[in-house]
Amino acid sequence: MSQTTLRTAIPRSDVPLRTMWPHAGVRVFVAYWGALAVIDVVDGTSAVAAAAVLVAVCSVHQHAVTAVAVAVEAWLFLVAFLGDGHGALAVHGTADAVRLLLLLTVATTTAALTPHPRGDR
């Protein structure tokens, strides 16, 4: 009879976070869950500021396309949960447009000021 240990039955990843962090998909994933956490923890202007910080962090050393995707993703959470708090995607006027412009500016500026490691833009 063969004995199977628990250690061989549970898959594990040997890929450290520092290896995964540079990839665009990881940044978009972190922005998604980070924006969800921001909306859950803070409200109002603090949520917009926290989302801007999250967008900046996720846009460092990324292409402009990834930075824009991160900004739009964070904006969608702000639109859905700051307006009426029910998660309905409905634009509530110029405030939402200003938030989008702010997040896009933060994202593209961060991406432009921190060159991509491969140098191809």
What pLDDT does residue 68 have?
96
The pLDDT, as a whole number, for residue 44 is 85
Q: Is 105 left (phi over 0), alpha (psi -120 to 50) or beta?
A: alpha
The answer to pTM > 0.85 is no
Return the pLDDT at 52: 97
- Which residue bears the tokens 């998660």? 87
37 within 8 A of 53, measured Cβ to Cβ: no
What does the pLDDT look like over 84-105, one tens digit per residue? 666 677 777 898 899 999 999 9
